[in-house]
Chain A
Amino acid sequence: MTIEIKDVCKSFDGRQVLKDFSLNIEEEHSYIITGPSGCGKTTLLRLILRLEEPDAGHVKLLGDYKYPFINSGTVFQEDRLCDSFDAVTNVTMVNRRVYRENAISELKNLLSEDELHKPVRELSGGQRRRVAIARALAVPSDILIMDEPFTGLDEASRRNAISFIREKQGTRPLVITTHDTSGLEFGRIIDMGID
């Protein structure tokens, strides 16, 4: 499966955030999208997820993919967790094939045991971010899309999260947006701030 992004343009309220952007996303590859705020990183991810449609150009799923939308393990720019439920429930709720035992085992890679069963509203920003990363990795998916996944993480947690993402990636393509590319040199770095 390949995602073809070809000559994509996208504007919001008359302000162009993407202009003639092209990229092919292929299996077993990692793409690190970087650039200043407002350069269109999040918009690009939303176009891949079909949450936005391009004004011009296209985003196509090539190959014999059976769904119209890509099945993605996603970390959004915000955590998008259900506040009154604990970390384990936040991971299991999104997919019937993610069982409690699997969720606990995935979460334990990023959080301590006592943090797993508290309502996520009681967790710190960094802890919530790690729950969002674990959720994205736990669901069966064809691609990993992560928008600023390391926001709020200290250096040790960031390194741990990167290594966990790499371990769980398998053959899936990985697209990460970030301001800070350190530790992400394994992927192809695409700087959207450079014309």
Chain B
Amino acid sequence: MQNIVKRIIAAAFWLLVWQALAMIVHNKVLLAGPAETVATLGRLMGDNSFWQSVASTTGRILAGFVAGSALGIVFGYLSYINEIVRELLRPLVLALKSVPVASFVILLLIWFGNRNISVIIVAMVVFPILYTNTLEGLVSTDKKLLEMARVFRMPREREIRYIFLPGLLPFWQGAFKLAIGMSFKSGIAAEVIGQPLGTIGNGLYQAKIYLETGELFAWTIVTVLVAFICERVVLFLLVLPSKK
């Protein structure tokens, strides 16, 4: 309870700072205040196309997130059991981690057009995060427990359920938390560059063209909220098996 109060006070403090800055700047184009942002958000929420944009962007980002996570986990496991796969993937993972998202976006725009660009970009951003954490989690599994499983001829699916998963969960919790945040950042950045119609990225781009700072902030708040909800849902799903 005390923590919630502290968080509310901290949020209120920064809202006040934002409001004070908006009053000092006194220019809606340069900095829209919280009141104006909330009003703009209310106006946008009354429009069907707003909800379609949110659903379209969220759906694509989640599709990329699921694909990237699944590939990261599968290849993380394959790298754990096979040294050749690990060595083959090392340069690819390094490239995916270090090459700027914008470079990939432009290349993918040329190859595939803009419709599903955020799906591919998000998958490319999420893959190395889940791959690295899955591999690290598997490598750090207690070798003595694995030896116990071998001696008792423990069935493979039980070995995964009782030995690998408890060790992997802390790695996955950190990885999924990071990955979901990165998914929204990179997915919307890809939409801003690629301009698919009826998306949050397109909404942000329109706000920029028409110098609508209030709209820019409103879309940003929506993005943060959707990312937060998705993060909570993903983390809840992750701890669900261990609660059974």
Q: Chain A residues in contact with chain B, CB under 8 A? A: 49, 51, 71-72, 74, 76, 78, 80, 82-85, 89, 93-96, 139
- Can you name 30 A-B residue pairings with CB atoms under 8 Å? A49-B151, A51-B147, A51-B150, A51-B151, A71-B153, A72-B151, A74-B148, A74-B151, A76-B144, A76-B147, A76-B148, A78-B144, A80-B144, A80-B145, A80-B147, A80-B148, A82-B162, A82-B163, A83-B166, A84-B242, A89-B162, A93-B154, A93-B158, A93-B161, A94-B152, A94-B158, A95-B152, A95-B153, A96-B155, A139-B152
B207 contacts the other chain (CB 8 A): no
Q: How far is the CB of B117 from chain A (nearest CB, A)?
A: 42
Asked if A93 contacts B162 (CB within 8 A), the reply is yes
Measured in the bound complex, the distance between the Cα atoms of B154 and A49 in whole Å is: 15
Compute how far the CA of A184 lies from the CA of B242 in the bound complex, rounded to whole angstroms.
Answer: 41
In the complex, which residue of chain A has the Cβ closest to the Cβ of B154? A94
The reply to whether B162 and A85 contact each other, CB–CB distance below 8 Å, is: yes
With a cutoff of 8 Å between Cβ atoms, the chain B residues found around residue A76 in the complex are: 144, 147-148
| Identity of the chain B residue whose Cβ is nearest the Cβ of A83 in the assembled complex | B166
Residues on B with C-beta less than 8 A from A89 are 162
Report the separation of the CA atoms of residues A84 and B162 in the bound assembly, to the nearest whole angstrom. 9
Inside 8 A of A72's CB, which chain B residues have their CB? 151
How far is the CB of A67 from the nearest CB of chain B, in Å?
9
Tell me whether A95 and B154 are in contact in the complex, defined as CB-CB below 8 angstroms, given that A76-B148, A78-B144, A82-B145 are known contacts. Answer: yes
A82–B166 CB distance below 8 A: yes
Mark B127-146 against chain A: 1 for CB-CB distance below 8 A, else 0. 00000000000000000110
Specify the chain B residue showing the minimal Cβ separation from A72.
B151
The 10 A-B pairs of least Cβ separation, nearest first, read: A94-B152, A80-B148, A93-B162, A94-B154, A82-B162, A74-B151, A84-B166, A93-B158, A80-B144, A49-B151
Is B89 an interface residue, CB under 8 A from the partner?
A: no
The CA of A96 and the CA of B148, in the complex, are separated in Å by 15
| Chain A residues near B55 (CB-CB < 8 A) | none
What is the CA–CA distance of A86 and B162 in the complex, to the nearest angstrom? 11
Chain B residues with CB under 8 Å of A74's CB are: 148, 151-152
- Which residues of B in the span 15-56 have a Cβ within 8 Å of any Cβ on A? none
Complex: A2 Cα to B158 Cα, angstroms: 31
A49-B151, A89-B162 given; 13 more Cβ-contact pairs under 8 Å: A74-B148, A74-B152, A80-B145, A80-B148, A82-B145, A82-B162, A84-B242, A85-B162, A93-B162, A94-B148, A94-B149, A94-B152, A95-B153
Closest to B150 in A: A51
Q: How far is the CA of A175 from the CA of B166 in the complex (A)?
A: 32
For B149-183 the 0/1 string (1 means CB < 8 A from A) is 11111110010011100100000000000000000
Which interface residue of A82, A85, A96 has the most chain B CB atoms within 10 A?
A: A82
Contacting residues, chain A, for B152 (C-beta < 8 A)? 74, 94-95, 139
Contacts of A85 in B (CB 8 A): 162
Query: Nearest Cβ in chain B — how far from A135, in angstroms?
Result: 8
Residues of B within 8 A of A95 (CB): 152-154
B80-122 contacts to A, CB under 8 A, are none
Whole-angstrom distance between the Cβ of B50 and the nearest chain A Cβ: 45
By a CB distance below 8 angstroms, the chain B residues around A80 are 144-145, 147-148
Cα of A78 to Cα of B151 in the assembled complex, Å: 14
Chain A residues with Cβ below 8 Å from B147 are 51, 76, 80
**Distance A82 CA – B152 CA, assembled complex (angstroms):** 14
Task: Name which of B147, B153, B154, B158 has the most chain A CB atoms within 10 A of its CB.
Answer: B153
CA distance A96 to B242 in the complex (A): 20
Residues of chain A with a CB closer than 8 A to B148's CB: 74, 76, 80, 94
Residue of chain B at shortest CB distance from A132: B148
> Measured between alpha carbons, how far is A168 from B147 in the docked complex, in Å?
24
